[in-house]
Amino acid sequence: MIKPVRYDTPLSGGRVLRLGERTLLMGILNITPDSFADGGVHFDAGRAIAAGLRMVDDGADILDIGGESTRPGADEVGANEEMRRVLPVIEGLARQTDAVLSIDTYKAVVAREAVGRGASMINDISGLQYDRLLGEVAADTGAALVLMHTRGRSRTMYEFAEYQEVVREVVEELGTAIGRATAAGVSREAIILDPGFGFAKKAEHSYTLLARLPELATLGRPILSGPSRKSFLKGPIGERLPAEREWATAAAVTTSVLGGAYIVRVHGVKEMRDVVRVADRVREEFGEELRKARQGPFSPL
């Protein structure tokens, strides 16, 4: 368990995302017919906007809006179709909420248009591997940039799920992604990292990363954790539909918070809000006990 340092992460439009005071909730808003967890539920701009506003009311600090499913085996979606899905939702939400809006895309053209409509964060599952111009968009617009770890594309990622030492390799490859971003002009202070649970990883790899999440702190950037409803959670609980994995998600979210995550990306915002509040309180108490331990020899620690 670690007590996080504070980061001020710049967003487009001159805003700043303050990280480290408490764990932030990122609500997942999929504008797709085929997402693994909630495909088709929000495949309409009006319904998606209403769902996003409910998430904000439930406690979401950030809304992550995506128009292409990136689940393993998913087909790719063209940029025009992706923009048709997400841009009206971003515009509508930007008019009605001050919550941070994130565009979940790996395409530079989609990201640029989304930031122009009100998004201030770009969430790239590829870590700038699929479209190098995306880094230039983040640099030009001043948007925060989430770099996730993966290998290969959605249809082939499991072919690359072979590791000698998964934590070390993920840390190294995320470090390379940071290098790609800064070479494109992205400020290091604007970068957030995601270990990519379930992406090009077998279940045991995701569990190892989750258990050893504090080791990613060596990269010096805040961590976003996204275990929500993912298939690696089925191992201990048995075969369950994604929507039936909320209790398992709660355990993974708690572990993420205690492991130093600054943001947790979830489907069930209302449920995970209470989970995060309690986990934050435990982490805060641990930090206080650690402070006492450093003051003298009589602490129980």
For the stretch 26-35, pLDDT in tens is: 999 999 875 5
Among 85, 230, 245, 283, the active-site one is: 230
Strand order in the sheet with 191-194: 191-194, 144-148, 121-124, 100-104, 62-66, 24-30, 263-266, 224-225
Architecture of the domain defined by 7-295: Alpha-Beta Barrel (3.20)
Phi, psi of 9 (to 5 degrees): -95, 120
- Which class for 147: exposed (0-12), middle (13-18), buried (19 or more C-beta within 10 A)? buried
Predicted structure pTM score: 0.92
Among 265, 270, 283, 291, the active-site one is: 265
- Which class for 42: exposed (0-12), middle (13-18), buried (19 or more C-beta within 10 A)? buried
**pLDDT on residue 299:** 41
| Chain mean pLDDT for the chain | 92
For the packed helices 45-58 and 269-295, what is the interaxial angle rounded to 10 degrees?
30
User: Nearest CA to 30 among 206, 228, 275, 233?
Assistant: 228
230 is known as an active-site residue = yes
Separation of alpha carbons 107 and 96, rounded Å: 26
Q: Could you report the per-residue pLDDT of 98-149, keeping only the tens digit for each?
A: 999 999 999 999 999 999 999 999 999 999 999 989 999 999 999 999 999 9
Percent of the chain with pLDDT over 70: 89
Average pLDDT over residues 164-184: 98
User: Nearest CA to 148 among 187, 182, 108, 104?
Assistant: 104
Kind and range of the H or E run holding 58: helix 45-58
Q: Could you report the per-residue pLDDT of 199-228, keeping only the tens digit for each?
A: 999 999 999 999 999 999 999 999 999 999
Q: Above 70 in pLDDT, residue 38?
A: no
Q: Could you report the per-residue pLDDT of 69-83, keeping only the tens digit for each?
A: 877 666 789 999 999
Q: Above 70 in pLDDT, residue 182?
A: yes
- Eight-class DSSP state of 6: P
201 is known as an active-site residue = no
| Domain locations in the chain as residue ranges | 7-295
CA-to-CA dists, residue 56 to 52, 89, 92, 291, angstroms: 6, 14, 14, 34
- Eight-class DSSP state of 76: P
